[in-house]
Structure 1
Amino acid sequence: MTREFLLVDGYNIIYAWDKLKKALEEESLEIARKKLLDIMSNYQGYKKINVIVVFDAHRVKGNRSIERYNNIDVVFTKEVETADHYIEKVAHLIGRDYRVRVATSDGLEQTIILGKGASRISARELHNEINMMDKDIRKNFIEKIQIDNNRLEGHLDSKVLEWMEKMRRK
């Protein structure tokens, strides 16, 4: 199976999604970023792909910062480097060996990354994909859990129940 990467232009997505834009306006940039990272972390866990979320820090003094947030990589670009530039560079470097998609609604950026060997997904398309993922998770996991008279075992996975039964019999 070919390894797949999704590079996400963080601020572009925040400003494109109403829920995140509202968090930005009503709460703070930090809260909006965290909400995006939580969403992308869930997405990574479901899709089992490598997710890298990139935020502009080109007006901030200092070097590039790469952090791990749950199961995804988060990049704050270095001084005088835009998220677009970083994404283009990474797409070019890994696009030859891996499947790379870039999530942005920036039309110029979409054109450039196509030339680097990556495919693009717009903010709206990614949002739709995530909504479909949420529906699938609800349908296949959450709604399938049968509650048995509101007892503990009605909420537990069958393997956990089996383990508990073995422990009880010892």
Structure 2
Amino acid sequence: MRIIFVDGYNVINSWPELNDIKNYSFEAARQQLIETVSNYAAYKGYSIFIVFDAHMVVGSLEKREKVSENVEVIFTKENETADSFIEKTVNRIGRRSEVFVVTSDSLEQQITFQRGAVRMSSIEFYHEVKQIESKIKSKIEKKYSKQKHTLEDRIAKDMLEKLEKIRKSR
């Protein structure tokens, strides 16, 4: 199974719509990222960890929240950046699994690559996620276009006959 670590704030600052949302509310941008990544993870079957910096929050302890079967959100502890958390974790699991790190931080990309992970820029990830969103939308549209939603399918035959009589009598 592919494991993906996402540097949350790096992605928020790189994705156009999330960057716009962030201007009004960081919380809304985080929630939108989590929702988008959760859909992507469910479709692809990947295990994704979205890591947010909390290193500047005095007294902050590491906080983990399992959002779905495939997605976990992590807020780092005080004095720990998302980069250092990702580096430490990738170093621990290293080459035993297929690990990707999503960040546009070039130093972070180099370090995680040296530790066995595949690097992916935030913009590359954005385009991949958008492509999957398009596939999901297409599947949904295809599914619903095959289903008939006629009046005949929804009401009892005797009621349909009564309505037809009323229509003809006018």
The residue identity in structure 2 corresponding to 1:47 is: K
The residue identity in structure 2 corresponding to 1:149 is: H
Is 1:17 equivalent to 2:15 in the alignment? yes
2:41 is matched with: 44
The residue identity in structure 1 corresponding to 2:97 is: Y
Instruction: Determine which structure has more spread, i.e. the larger CA radius of gyration.
Output: 2
For structure 2, the residue ranges without an aligned partner over 5 or more in a row are 155-170
Tell me by how many angstroms 1:52 deviates: 0.2
Secondary structure of the residue aligned to 2:143 is coil
Tell me by how many angstroms 1:4 deviates: 1.4
CA–CA separation in structure 2 for the residues paired with 1:54 and 1:153: 48
Tell me by how many angstroms 1:131 deviates: 1.0
Contact 2:49 2:73 (8 Å CA) reproduced: yes
Deviations 1:3-28 (A, max 9, x none): 210000000000001100111113x1
CA–CA separation in structure 2 for the residues paired with 1:127 and 1:14: 10
Tell me by how many angstroms 1:152 deviates: 10
RMSD: 1.7
Q: TM-score, normalised by structure 1?
A: 0.83
Q: TM-score, normalised by structure 2?
A: 0.83
Whichever structure has more helix as a proportion of its residues is: 2
Runs of 4+ in 1 over 3 A off after TM superposition: 149-154
In structure 2, relative to structure 1, the CA distance for the partners of 1:114 and 1:30 (3 Å cut) is same
The residue identity in structure 2 corresponding to 1:31 is: A
CA–CA separation in structure 2 for the residues paired with 1:123 and 1:89: 20
Question: Identity of paired residues, percent?
Answer: 38
The residue identity in structure 2 corresponding to 1:100 is: V
The residue identity in structure 2 corresponding to 1:102 is: V
Tell me by how many angstroms 1:153 deviates: 6.8
In structure 2, relative to structure 1, the CA distance for the partners of 1:152 and 1:19 (3 Å cut) is farther
1:149 is matched with: 149
Q: How many residues matched?
A: 151
Q: Which moved more, 1:66-75 or 1:105-114?
A: 66-75
Tell me by how many angstroms 1:134 deviates: 1.2
